[in-house]
Amino acid sequence: MSSQHEEEPVLVPTSVTPPRQSRRPAIHTERIALVDLLDRVLAGGVVVSGEVTLAIADVDMVRVSLRALVTSASALTRGANDGEEVPGR
């Protein structure tokens, strides 16, 4: 890929508007959906040997927290985003 100028990243977690009118993609401009956030903060990020939480890292945080998610799926769905019905066409 071409190397662009070394600009400082603009990291506001809202989204750009696609340059042309299209019915898709749906772009979240509001609050970040919790599922997307958890994909990143639980599955991403660097794991180091934390003094306190090393044992928890072993347990596999993703799985631990997934239990919380699934048991509260309805609550999460409400909080996620209103993407449920963007009528496709």
Partner 1 sequence: MEPNGIWVYAITERVDLTPVAQIRGVGGRQVRTVAAAGLTAVVEDVGLAEFGEEALRRNLEDLNWLEATARAHHEVIDAVAQQGPLVPMRLATVYSGDAPIATMLTERGADFRSALRRIRGRVEWGVKAYADRQPEASGDSAVTAGASRPGSGAGAAYLQRRRNQLTAQKNARRETLASADIIHAELSRYAAETRVHTPQAPQLTGIKAPMILNAAYLLDSARGEDFAAAVAALADQHPGLRLELTGPWPPYSFAGTGGEGGLT
Does position 68 bind partner 1 by CB under 8 A? Answer: yes
State the Cα–Cα distance between residues 51 and 28, nearest whole angstrom: 37
Number of residues that bind partner 1 (CB under 8 A): 73
- Rounded to the nearest whole angstrom, what is the least distance from the CB of residue 60 to partner 1 in the complex? 11
User: For 17, what's the count of Cα atoms within 13 Å in the CB-facing half-sphere?
Assistant: 3
Residue 58 is a binding residue for partner 1 (CB under 8 A): no
Binding flag, residue 60, partner 1 (CB under 8 A): no
Q: Considering the rule CB under 8 A, would residue 16 count as an interface residue with partner 1?
A: yes
Does 12 bind partner 1 (CB under 8 A)? Our answer is: yes
Does residue 84 bind partner 1 (CB under 8 A)? yes
Cα angle 86, 31, 45; round to 5: 115
**Phi, psi at 47, each rounded to 5°:** -100, 120
